[in-house]
A = this chain, B = another copy of it.
Amino acid sequence: MTQLTFWYDFASSYSYLSALRIESLCGESGIKHVWRPFLLGAIFQSQGWNTSPFNIYEAKGAYMIRDIARVAQNRELPPFRLPSEFPQKSLLAARIGTLGANSEWIADYTKSVLARQFVDGLEVEEPETHVHLLNALGQPGKAIVSRAATDTDNKLKLRRNTELAQEMGLFGAPSFVTDDAEVFWGDDRLEGAIDWALKHA
């Protein structure tokens, strides 16, 4: 079965838009999708940025907020917000997401972390926050958070995934990568990525 890998960062506003629709869009097309968290901040740093380009380039940041607000309205989502500090540090969430990447809870966990920031405007940096989010999904939050934060293999896996993202030329999130290594960047390229995957299956 052809598959699409969804590369995302847990602090990424446009990843929020894609996380909400990748299941239904891929499902309708009969394509498998894989959740693949990575650390976009590490890639930004290698470009000489110490924060999101949305912060460095003011006009771009203002536009992003307006653009997503319009998309959210068109898709009948709740009003879009930014957390009081943007971007949030996404390391812990990324470690949890890497640990659970193939679990039954990865989709709901990812969406809850993103909605907490971009609907509720709240932080996602505190371990306790993730314990609560996971518990609310019926998962053993404390055990998962503790393991994600300490498991050396898991930490290395996330680091390796981030290096792989950079080797593949990823420079933003969300990015979608097909089986034949075609890269599509941005929520507005999700349909194009699915079309490609179908045509080149």
Contacts and interface: CB of A to CB of B under 8 A. Distances in A.
A75 to B, nearest CB: 12
Contacts of A182: 66, 70
Interface string A25-69: 000000000000000000000010000000001011011001100
A162 to B, nearest CB: 14
A188 interface: yes
Contact of A188 (B47, B59, B74, B188): B188
Contact of A171 (B60, B184, B196): B60
A185 interface: yes
Contacts of A189: 67, 188
A194 interface: no
Given A59-B169, A67-B189, 10 more contacts: A47-B57, A57-B171, A59-B171, A60-B171, A60-B172, A63-B169, A63-B185, A67-B184, A67-B185, A74-B192
